[in-house]
A = this chain, B = another copy of it.
Amino acid sequence: MDELIMLPGPTAIPPEGLEAQSRQMIGHREEAFSKLLVRVTENLKKVFFTENDLLIFPASGTGGLEIAIVNSFSPGDKVLSVTNGVFGQRFREIAKAYGVNVIELDFPWGEPCDYDKIENFLGKYQDIKAVLFTHNETSTGVQNDLQRMGEIIKEHDALLIVDAVSSLGGLPLYTDKWGVDMVITSSQKALMTPPGLALVAVSPQAWRQIEQSTLPKFYWDLLKAKKYYEESRQTPYTPAVSLLYALDQALKLILKEGIENVFKRHRVLTRALRRGMEKLGIKPFVPWEIASYTVSSFYQPEGIDFKDFKDHLVKKYKLHFAGGQGRLKDKIFRIGHMGYVNQEMILKTVESIGSTLEDFNFKADKVSALAETEKIISEELSRNEL
């Protein structure tokens, strides 16, 4: 690979996925397509750790969040929106745009949610229909505690609807075991497929609420998508065939590696990257305890104009990563490491950033940063436990 794609999405596509997209079209009302759709759906269920229904729409992740909102609610329905970053806010904005009665519970960006407080809110508002929750806050690199959230929701008659766009396939997410009613993700993150597919898993309890929903919908209609899948193994409208080719390949790679091994690889590479960066004098924005394993956030280096730093890395070292978003725009930067990511890419990232610091006449102990990074990876990845 010529360019080093360490974006928080779209992420790098493995050669198998790129090649799959050079296959010619097939008809979406033909048997060959149904076989593809069933295989992708069944393999996705394995990666989602679910036996719930799983439906696929041509759309980006934000479209997937909209699917959850317009199918689950009626105007005036009360939902609790928990946020600690840009994407939690976006999920909430979609609900508000559709006239859902949103109760807002905000935690500081870069900090964990206060789960006792969430529990209190749920106790206070007995008529809450659902909690909107962000598993991995891409904007801050914080991994929220979805398992804990699942335990809390079990005591309440509300759905747990989760934005898993930058978590699913990278962070442990056990849909059924943790009691998540709707899991929404998209193709272009840890699933290492180009953008354009929204994926939604729906529990039986969620279906019961969906059947009551009166918000207007047509393209996003989950019940119609379910009916088509059940009756004919097809989609109501033309599916994104080439993206399904790529996703099919990506899922095969994930299942071949073993999903638990994939989780471990993400966790170990994250630790190694963070330690290497620390050795270079670049400070992580959030502590390890709440750190995402798919996107790492760091404080922008002091004394260097961030735009110059970023442009230099892109132009000289072909390293592609992201700045901060929203109120963190001038404070942090973010390195994506999900899906098609390996030791070599992490080392090259640390090396490129070290070299850039040197190019800007800052001291950076590149040698020990790389040694530390490599040591963590080789020690921890070779260990026989997950």
A contact residues vs B (CB 8 Å cutoff): 1-3, 5, 7, 9-13, 18-19, 21-30, 58-63, 66, 93-94, 97-99, 186, 188, 194-196, 215-219, 236-243, 246, 314, 320, 322
- State whether A239 and B27 are in contact (beta carbons under 8 Å apart), knowing that A93-B218, A97-B217 are contacts in the complex: no
Selected from B1, B59, B322, the residue in CB contact (under 8 A) with A24 is B1
Are A10's CB and B241's CB within 8 A?
yes
Whole-angstrom distance between the alpha carbons of A1 and B23 in the complex? 10
Given A18-B22, A60-B240, 7 more pairs with CB closer than 8 A = A3-B24, A10-B26, A10-B28, A12-B24, A25-B188, A98-B218, A243-B243
Whole-angstrom distance between the alpha carbons of A191 and B351 in the complex? 43
**Which chain B residues lie closer than 8 Å to A215 at the CB level?**
216
Are A196's CB and B243's CB within 8 A?
yes
Are A194's CB and B237's CB within 8 A?
no
Query: Which of A3, A61, A66, A216 is the most central at the interface, judged by chain B CB atoms within 10 Å of its CB?
Result: A216
Stoichiometry, as copies per complex, reads 2
Q: Please name 12 pairs of A and B residues whose Cβ atoms are closer than 8 Å in the assembled complex, sorted by A.
A: A9-B238, A10-B241, A21-B21, A27-B322, A28-B195, A60-B240, A61-B238, A62-B218, A63-B237, A97-B216, A195-B238, A196-B243
Whole-angstrom distance between the alpha carbons of A21 and B193 in the complex? 12
The 4 residue pairs across chains A and B that have the minimum distance between CB atoms: A196-B240, A194-B242, A21-B21, A62-B237
Are B18's CB and A320's CB within 8 A?
no
Query: Which of A9, A66, A196, A241 is the most central at the interface, judged by chain B CB atoms within 10 Å of its CB?
Result: A196
Selected from B11, B219, B236, B243, the residue in CB contact (under 8 A) with A59 is B219
**Which chain B residues lie closer than 8 Å to A10 at the CB level?**
25-28, 238, 241
Are B99's CB and A58's CB within 8 A?
no
Are B27's CB and A218's CB within 8 A?
no
**Which chain B residues lie closer than 8 Å to A196 at the CB level?**
58, 196, 240, 242-243
Whole-angstrom distance between the alpha carbons of A12 and B93 in the complex? 39
Query: Which of A13, A21, A97 is the most central at the interface, judged by chain B CB atoms within 10 Å of its CB?
Result: A21
Whole-angstrom distance between the alpha carbons of A316 and B24 in the complex? 19
